[in-house]
């Protein structure tokens, strides 16, 4: 059983909603990355989504786009991200890590080479934003190496395609709760609840909901029906001004703790 | 790659040109792209749609554009005859309007009232603002801050035509960033918005659709060559940024194996300096803006900032069909430096009384190079894709002249 599958099985057994923070690797402080990942886990993260910086993040809003630009300016790339995961695994062998990013860095690194290096470093899953289920052959080397393929579903995903996405998804299905870029603020919880219920009837994997989750209240509302909530832009925004590693970790803990508490209060 | 029997058979059903093209986009864009593909597949063979497109090309754009023998230029170069396909004479001054008319008609047929576009040099933005005024559609144009600065006249033209121009301040503040921003707008407003992409890049069906609307250039040129010269040209050439005017000219000639095809990319300060925009000559296969193609990027896969004196060629990717034509060997792609393009600009102005766009000046420079190497009885057909009025300030500034 993979780390991701095991983690969701544990959550399910305890009736808990998963908390998945997203951070852009290397932002705000490359030197603080591994400490920050441990702090996220201490604050209640069940799985970490690590954004691989890309120069042209078409599906991301200004917050994550600027975080990517800052990280790239400091020389952060795929090789550095894998090194951090390897370092993180020295102290944490159980928290699943999903890399989220765009195809070009993977293609240029070489998909097969990336896949074996990622597995060796301790990466569990990969979400390639610009690689939809139709382009599965492109992602084949990653699956062959044992990386789970995290796929997205959106409000605009048709029923016919949802079947194919559910069929191909591994680890968990990431439901993008509205049509838009990351960090935007318009989400109708009723619409999302209905849609997630429909997806859960067809998916073999748990369903995580992201895009538009920004604080304890929205996390609790979404967590009432999702298997996990993903929090990205609001966290990245909070971390952006961190002055050093301690400050970054403190910011992460302060931000996640009330969200964790809200999710757990609902579970009891 | 195996020998290609029929180049007109591409893209395939998945939007692929061999290994290139495809649809590498976020989940939220899959549905609108499928909707667009379905609409376009119906419209492209609909006689009423084709008739309306052709009517607008004739009476609004002013087609057909002539093929002009640049006799004094040819004599001065001393070699093959240089023929110019005069797309600069189109309404709005470039080939770009062929595509925007076509896509605006598609948008109208799909019931979309809000149009968005990205632009580099501003030619596509002007062509989009123009057709939006013509069809009564709302128009928002995304343009990099750097390009807004160097193309002030086109920015003002767009505003005169009723468009809103949104400055893009991310990344290198040029065409690629404007494209990212327009794509984000589309993701957010898919229900009522149609995205008119200006070049043969982006996800399927854009590379095919933009090519089809520009292919009128090559179809006309092929017929005109047979009528005026009784034969096809020996070589055809065009400038390649994203590659829409080039594929427009090339496409009708792809199966004419005796016609040599040469694309001129922007070599900027020279390919060896790294300050250029020659994706095919100096890039590698990757994925950018929804398609697999040649891109300029570093070893981490980050797209690199490009340089060209011509804003319209300043793009780190290239249409996937050009990537395919390069790999199959059907077309050659070479670099033309800023200096060579500027020299060609002046030479054409003085010998023929034509101010070419800086983009098109790259093609003219390549035509001059080719003609010089070829005997007098050969014919070099060059796509003069746009006029140079928009570039007068850039050229003056480069030469230290204050207007």
A65 touches chain B (CB under 8 A): yes
Quick check: A181 contacting B, CB < 8 Å? yes
Residue B174 phi, psi dihedral angles, 5° rounding: -130, -160
The number of C-alpha atoms within 13 Å of B79 and in the hemisphere containing its C-beta is: 12
The pLDDT assigned to B361 comes to 98
Answer yes or no: do B289 and A58 touch at CB < 8 A: yes
- The beta-carbon neighbor of B302 closest among A54, A135, A152 is A54
CA nearest to A101 within chain B:
B26
The pLDDT of residue B188 is 84
Nearest CA-CA partner of B264 in B348, B344, B356, B367: B367
Query: If DSSP states are collapsed to H, E and C, what string results for A130-175?
Result: CCCHHHHHHHHHHHHCCCEECEEECCCCCHHHHHHHHHHCCCCEEE
The Cα A122–Cα A120 span in angstroms is 5
Min CA distance, A18 vs chain B (Å)? 23
For residue A104, give the nearest of B26, B170, B301 by CB distance: B301
Check residue B172 and give its pLDDT. 80
A153 and B CB contact within 8 Å = yes
A 39-58 → B contacts, CB under 8 A = 53-58
A3-266 is a CATH 3.20.20.70 domain: yes
Each residue's pLDDT tens digit, B275-327: 999 999 999 999 999 999 999 999 999 999 899 999 889 899 999 999 999 99
Q: Residue B274: which residues within 8 A CB-CB, separation 6 or more?
A: none
What are the chain B neighbours of A161 within 8 Å (beta carbons)? 30-31
* Residues of B designated catalytic: 96, 118, 385
Choose, out of B33, B300, B304, B306, the residue to mutate when testing the contact with A (most A CBs < 10 Å): B300
- Angle, CA B24 vertex, CA B246 and CA B321 arms, to 5°: 20
Between chains, do A102 and B287 touch, taking CB under 8 Å as contact? yes
CB atoms within 10 A of CB A180: 23
Taking the alpha carbons at both ends of chain B, their separation in whole angstroms is: 53
Q: How far apart are CA B22 and CA B324, in angstroms?
A: 12
Chain A residues 226-255 with CB within 8 Å of chain B: none
Point out the residues of chain B with pLDDT beneath 50.
Answer: 1
Question: Model confidence at A62, in pLDDT bands (50, 70, 90)?
Answer: confident
Residues of A with active-site annotation: 49, 60
CB contact under 8 A, B24 and A135: yes
- Which of chain A's residues have a Cβ under 8 Å away from the Cβ of B176? 56
Question: What are the strands of the beta sheet with B332-337, ordered from one edge?
Answer: B67-69, B81-86, B379-384, B235-240, B260-268, B332-337
- Nearest chain B residue to A134 by CA: give it: B23
Q: pLDDT grade, residue A187 (50/70/90)?
A: low
Residues B190, A61: C-beta atoms closer than 8 Å: no
Residue A183 has pLDDT above 80, yes or no: no
Contacts of A57 in chain B (CB under 8 A): 180
Residue B146: predicted pLDDT: 87
Decide the pairing of beta strands B260-268 and B235-240: parallel
As a whole number of angstroms, the distance between CA B127 and CA B368 comes to 29
Please name the residue that has the structure tokens 């009128």. B216
Preceding peptide of A28 cis, ω within 30°:
yes
User: A119 to chain B, minimum CA–CA distance in Å?
Assistant: 19
Residue B174: partners with Cβ closer than 8 Å, 6 or more residues away = B120, B144, B146, B147, B305, B306, B311, B314, B315
- Interchain contact A184–B (C-beta under 8 A): yes
| Distance (Å, whole) CA B261 – CA A109 | 32
State residue A185's pLDDT score: 52
ipTM: 0.93
Please indicate if any CB of chain B lies within 8 Å of the CB of A152: yes
DSSP B59: I
Of A58, A65, A78, the CB nearest to B301: A78
Name every chain B residue with its beta carbon within 8 A of the beta carbon of A151. 27
Indicate yes or no: CB of B187 within 8 angstroms of CB of A129: no
Shortest CA gap A152–chain B (Å): 6
- Per the CB < 8 A criterion, the answer to whether B394 and B363 are in contact is no
Q: Supply the mean pLDDT for chain A.
A: 93
pTM: 0.95
Facing B188 at nearest CB: one of A107, A132, A184: A184
For residue A181, the model assigns a pLDDT of 57
Q: What is the DSSP string of A199-255?
A: HHHH-SS-EEEESS--SHHHHHHHHTTSSEEEE-HHHHHHHTT--SHHHHHHHHHHH
Chain B residue set in contact with A, beta carbons under 8 Å = 14, 22-28, 30-32, 34, 170-171, 176-177, 180, 183-184, 187-188, 190, 284-290, 295, 297, 299-303
Check: CB of residue A39 under 8 Å from CB of residue A252: yes
Cβ count near A130 (within 10 Å): 27
* Contacts B24 to A, Cβ<8 Å: 103, 130-132, 135, 138
Q: So what's the pLDDT on residue A178?
A: 64
- Cα A40 to Cα A43, A236, A249, A266: the distances in Å are 5, 12, 8, 21
With CA atoms as reference, report the closest residue to A218 among A36, A42, A19, A47. A19
Among candidates B227, B253, B261, which has minimal Cα distance to B66?
B227
CB A171 within 8 A of CB A203: no
Q: What is the largest CA-CA distance in chain B?
A: 57
CA distance A11 to chain B (A): 27
Spatial separation of the C-alpha atoms in residues B314 and B296, rounded to whole Å: 11
Across the interface, whether the CB atoms of B297 and A108 are under 8 A apart is answered: yes
Please report which residue ranges of B145-291 form alpha helices under DSSP H. 145-150, 152-160, 175-188, 206-214, 216-229, 244-250, 279-282
A179 pLDDT band (50/70/90 cuts)? low
Quick check: A109 contacting B, CB < 8 Å?
yes
Which residues, including other chains, have CB under 8 Å from residue B75's CB and lie 6 or more apart?
none
CA–CA distance, A105 with A56 (Å, rounded to integer): 11
Q: Which ranges of B44-143 does DSSP label H, i.e. alpha helix?
A: 47-56, 71-77, 96-109, 123-135
Of A105, A60, A66, nearest in space to A82 by CA: A105
Residue of B nearest to A65 (CA): B170
DSSP classification of residue B48: H
Find the closest chain A residue to B31 by CA distance: A156
Do β-strands A207-210 and A228-231 pair in parallel, antiparallel, or remain unpaired? parallel
Which of B23, B183, B297 is facing A104, going by the closest CB pair?
B297
Residue A180 has pLDDT above 90, yes or no: no
């Amino acid at each position: 059983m993979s780390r991701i599958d095991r983690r969701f099985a544990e959550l399910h057994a305890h009736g808990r909603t998963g908390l998945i923070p997203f951070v852009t690797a290397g932002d705000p402080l490359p030197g603080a990355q591994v400490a920050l990942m441990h702090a996220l886990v201490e604050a209640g993260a069940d799985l970490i989504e690590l954004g691989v910086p890309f120069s042209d993040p078409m599906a991301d809003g200004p917050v994550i786009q600027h975080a990517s630009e800052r990280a790239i300016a400091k020389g952060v790339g795929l090789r550095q991200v894998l090194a951090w995961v390897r370092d993180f695994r020295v102290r944490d062998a159980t928290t699943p890590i999903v890399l989220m990013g765009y195809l070009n860095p993977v293609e240029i690194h070489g998909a097969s080479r990336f896949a074996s290096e990622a597995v060796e470093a301790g990466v569990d899953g990969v979400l390639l934003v610009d690689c939809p289920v139709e382009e599965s052959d492109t992602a084949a080397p990653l699956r062959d190496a044992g990386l789970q393929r995290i796929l997205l579903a959106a409000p605009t995903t048709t029923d016919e395609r949802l079947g194919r996405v559910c069929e191909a998804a591994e680890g968990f299905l990431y439901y993008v709760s509205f049509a838009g870029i990351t960090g935007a603020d318009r989400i109708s919880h009723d619409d999302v609840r209905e849609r997630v219920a429909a997806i859960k009837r067809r998916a073999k994997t748990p369903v995580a909901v992201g895009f538009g989750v920004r604080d304890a209240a929205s996390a609790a509302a979404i967590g009432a029906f999702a298997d996990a909530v993903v929090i990205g832009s609001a966290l990245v925004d909070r971390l952006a001004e961190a002055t050093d590693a301690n400050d970054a970790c403190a910011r992460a803990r302060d931000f996640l703790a009330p969200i964790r508490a809200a999710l757990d209060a609902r579970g009891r | 790659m195996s020998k290609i029997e029929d180049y007109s058979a591409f893209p395939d059903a998945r939007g692929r040109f061999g290994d290139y093209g495809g649809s590498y986009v976020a989940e939220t864009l899959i549905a609108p792209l499928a909707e667009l593909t379905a609409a376009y597949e119906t419209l492209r063979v609909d006689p009423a749609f084709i008739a309306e497109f052709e009517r607008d090309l004739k009476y609004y754009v002013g087609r057909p554009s002539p093929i002009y023998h640049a006799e004094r230029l040819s004599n001065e170069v001393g070699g093959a005859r240089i023929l110019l396909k005069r797309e600069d004479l189109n309404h709005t001054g470039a080939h770009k309007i062929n595509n925007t008319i076509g896509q605006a008609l598609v948008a109208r047929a799909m019931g979309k009232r809000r149009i968005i576009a990205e632009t580099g040099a501003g030619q596509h933005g002007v062509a989009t603002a123009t057709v939006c005024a013509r069809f009564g559609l709302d128009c928002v144009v995304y343009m990099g801050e750097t390009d807004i600065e160097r193309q002030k006249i086109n920015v003002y033209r767009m505003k005169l035509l009723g468009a809103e121009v949104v400055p893009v301040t991310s990344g290198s503040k040029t065409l690629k960033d404007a494209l990212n921003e327009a794509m984000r707008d589309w993701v957010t407003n898919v229900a009522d918005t149609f995205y008119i992409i200006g070049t043969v890049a982006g996800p399927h069906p854009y590379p095919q659709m933009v090519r089809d609307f520009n292919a009128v250039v090559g179809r006309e040129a092929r017929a005109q060559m047979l009528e005026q010269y009784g034969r096809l040209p020996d070589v055809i050439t065009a400038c390649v940024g994203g590659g829409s005017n080039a594929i427009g000219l090339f496409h009708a000639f792809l199966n004419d194996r005796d016609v040599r095809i040469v694309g001129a990319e922007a070599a900027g300060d020279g390919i060896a300096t790294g300050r250029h925009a020659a994706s095919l000559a100096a890039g590698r296969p990757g994925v950018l803006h929804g398609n697999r193609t040649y891109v300029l990027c570093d070893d981490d896969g980050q797209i690199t900032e490009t340089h060209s004196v011509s804003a319209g060629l300043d793009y780190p990717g290239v249409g996937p069909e050009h990537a395919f034509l390069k790999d199959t060997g059907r077309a050659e792609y070479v670099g033309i430096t800023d200096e060579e393009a500027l020299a060609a600009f002046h030479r054409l102005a003085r010998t023929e009384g034509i101010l070419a766009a800086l983009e098109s000046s790259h093609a003219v420079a390549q035509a001059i190079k080719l003609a010089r190497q070829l005997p007098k009885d050969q014919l070099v057909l060059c796509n003069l894709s746009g006029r140079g009025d928009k570039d007068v300030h850039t050229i003056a500034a480069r030469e230290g002249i204050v207007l």
